[in-house]
Amino acid sequence: MKLLDTMVLVSAMNPANKYHKTGMSYLATLQSTEDTYVPTSTLTEFDLVMRNREYTESEIAETWAALTPFLGEKVAPTTPSAHLAATEMRVKGLTYFDSLIAALAKETKAVVITKNAEIAKHAETEWERTQKIS
């Protein structure tokens, strides 16, 4: 199982991002038979990223409209037990959202798709710049 980090959504939805093609290729795996999901915490963080970057409500709506067809049913709930494990990770210095995806990955034995070195200290990660868009 694989879990997409917020950086996948950020890079996929921004054509100017240097990881755009890689982000799009990982986003496309949600429409394949691959066991890839987006945690609910990733969706919340992505929404907050847009708001912190001062996107208008119209721009946020457009972004979600473009993203929604990729997601389908491939959303993984962040469980109460993942929240509990995440509190221990935050004591060790991991940020709120990073701790949630790392804890969920550990709980589900998933690989996190990210370049985030802090998450990699707590969970298995992957990031392939040479992914092909199918």
Choice between 2 and 34, residue whose per-residue pLDDT is larger = 2
Q: What is the pTM of this model?
A: 0.91
Model confidence at 131, in pLDDT bands (50, 70, 90)?
Answer: very low
Write the pLDDT tens digit of every residue in 59-106: 999 999 999 998 988 999 999 999 999 999 999 999 999 999 999 999
**Which residues of 1-134 form beta strands (DSSP E)?**
2-4, 36-39, 75-76, 111-113, 125-126
The answer to whether 29 touches 36, Cβ cutoff 8 Å, is: yes
Q: Give the span between the Cα atoms of 7 and 12, in whole angstroms.
A: 8
Residue 72 zone, left/alpha/beta (φ > 0; ψ -120 to 50; rest): left
Write the pLDDT tens digit of every residue in 116-125: 999 999 999 9
Q: Give the span between the Cα atoms of 83 and 103, in whole angstroms.
A: 7
The answer to whether 2 touches 110, Cβ cutoff 8 Å, is: yes
Among 122, 133, 95, CA closest to 12: 133
